[in-house]
Structure 1
């Protein structure tokens, strides 16, 4: 039976386990994919800990497979599927969890993997890169404008820096000292995440900040909110909608469509977006892969691979 890495209840790493699961059966509009690579993200352990995404309804069924972004090969298509066929190399968001040998994708948020993209690269795009893309395009800043990104050293932040820079936007990135070299290599102005980060950000952008993409939330969001002259140019992926709306801003509006996946993949192929994969783990070390992200030690993206060469 296919193997999967799951959590059996809400809690910490002690809830995680390998199990054998029946191969999923694709329903209408779904693809059954033999997974070649799965991305690892902070939201994976947060969901295990009990976090609920905005709009989540109903109770989770355990055991629940960890992970949500995958790349692989179509094995079977569900009723009504057009545009995809067995043998196609695809990537997208897994309906049934991503740390598994087989996963289900919906055709509405799946895309063909370009030949120039590895499975590992494609598996990093549906969550972090797509969230970054949605946010940068939601702000719609013109070339030459200045964007402040808090939490710029994380997966979403690193992608947002690159996407904004490709559009000609000047970027000031707030992140730890350890991310300075990385952010500067991407063309961002690094501001260390010290207690006086907002004053340093003002000094780095003497002509003002035109937009803020917050990836931290809490006090950082509140301090960042006063920086742009136009509060409608304040967005967050790290705080509830009511909190950011009280500050005059908005949540990142996710566009969960195949066109977004195709757009971020095209950015990688053109060289405008580097997923920055720093470690690849086999499925047997899925727990270690998740610990690397959960402990905050990850530099760049972490990927789990499944047997086939990537």
Structure 2
């Protein structure tokens, strides 16, 4: 029976444990994958706390942690085309990637390029995929100025890099301790915190043409005031706040085509996933604590098998 890291109730870390679960069976449109690596994201501990994506199905307990994974196809479900047993793939995990075996929807899975490492591949669907979707949604022309509110995390770092590759000028807010990191990505760093709008105006005297918000709350309201056209605001942290301000939530595509695009950027050297910490599956709890403590720079991955 495959081992998985799960939470058996909603709450804190005390609900987490390893379990041996029945071997998953790939239904229509699904792939059964022997996991080689899995990405670790804030949404993992938030789901343990009871968060559920709007419109998503109720969480069945025990619930396996993990939203993204990379591995080798073991079985192909009915109706799946373009994938075969033995293929190296990465994508969105249906019911958790912190496991020896995981189910991936074929439409949200892509073939892993040989030049892409397992850990890099496993961390692309959530962070780089969100960044890519946000920039496609904004559709800013080359030369425009983009503000990334929260540029120091996994999604923020990917957004800055992809935006720079698309020919945008980028201003990124982050804590003072992440200045060197944000600047290394190609953005003008602006310290976050009270009065951030004034500092952004000083850094971008000609104004900003679009905002990707990854913070939400009052910081979102402050930076939204910098936009003449609020439709150029998208948020991955505060859907209701963005809509109230005249913007929108980031619309996630979660398709293989998006994964192909971001993987190609990594292979070409235009995007670094910045996997800064790697833990074995046996230390999944430690990986989650690192994310939950909120001081991670870049991405964390688990290795499996």
TM (normalized to structure 2)?
0.98
| Superposed displacement of residue 55, structure 1 | 1.7
State the match for 1:9 in structure 2. 9
- Say which SS state the counterpart of residue 245 (structure 1) adopts: helix
| Superposed displacement of residue 243, structure 1 | 2.8
| Superposed displacement of residue 17, structure 1 | 0.4
Q: Which runs of 5+ in 1 are unaligned?
A: none
Q: Distance in 1 between matches of 2:49 and 2:83?
A: 35
- Say which SS state the counterpart of residue 108 (structure 2) adopts: strand
| Superposed displacement of residue 96, structure 1 | 1.6
Answer yes or no: is the 8 Å Cα contact 2:71–2:89 preserved in 1: yes
Deviations 1:45-69 (A, max 9, x none): 0111111112224x32110000110
- Say which SS state the counterpart of residue 103 (structure 2) adopts: strand
State the match for 2:20 in structure 1. 20
Q: How do residues 222-301 of structure 1 correspond to structure 2 at under 5 angstroms?
A: 222-240=221-239, 242-301=240-299
Q: Distance in 2 between matches of 1:97 and 1:269?
A: 26
2:197 matched to 1:187? no
| Superposed displacement of residue 303, structure 1 | 0.4
| Superposed displacement of residue 299, structure 1 | 1.6
State the match for 1:105 in structure 2. 104
- Say which SS state the counterpart of residue 278 (structure 1) adopts: strand
Deviations 1:77-106 (A, max 9, x none): 011111100000000001020100000011
- Say which SS state the counterpart of residue 172 (structure 2) adopts: strand
Deviations 1:22-61 (A, max 9, x none): 110000111000000000000100111111112224x321
Q: Which runs of 5+ in 2 are unaligned?
A: none
State the match for 1:162 in structure 2. 161
State the match for 1:33 in structure 2. 33
Q: Distance in 2 between matches of 1:262 and 1:280?
A: 23
Q: Distance in 2 between matches of 1:141 and 1:243?
A: 22
| Superposed displacement of residue 204, structure 1 | 0.4
Q: How do residues 34-73 of structure 1 correspond to structure 2 at under 5 angstroms?
A: 34-57=34-57, 59-73=58-72
User: How many residues end up aligned between the 2 structures?
Assistant: 305
Q: Distance in 2 between matches of 1:300 and 1:234?
A: 23
- Say which SS state the counterpart of residue 144 (structure 1) adopts: coil
| Superposed displacement of residue 297, structure 1 | 2.3
Deviations 1:283-308 (A, max 9, x none): 1000001111110121211000012x
Answer yes or no: is the 8 Å Cα contact 2:179–2:189 preserved in 1: yes
| Superposed displacement of residue 6, structure 1 | 0.3
Q: Distance in 2 between matches of 1:63 and 1:103?
A: 14
Answer yes or no: is the 8 Å Cα contact 2:134–2:250 preserved in 1: yes
Q: Distance in 1 between matches of 2:151 and 2:277?
A: 19
Answer yes or no: is the 8 Å Cα contact 2:188–2:203 preserved in 1: yes
Q: Distance in 1 between matches of 2:251 and 2:233?
A: 12
Answer yes or no: is the 8 Å Cα contact 2:52–2:59 preserved in 1: no
- Say which SS state the counterpart of residue 221 (structure 2) adopts: helix
The alignment yields a C-alpha RMSD, in angstroms, of: 0.8
Answer yes or no: is the 8 Å Cα contact 2:10–2:49 preserved in 1: yes
Q: Distance in 1 between matches of 2:29 and 2:81?
A: 8
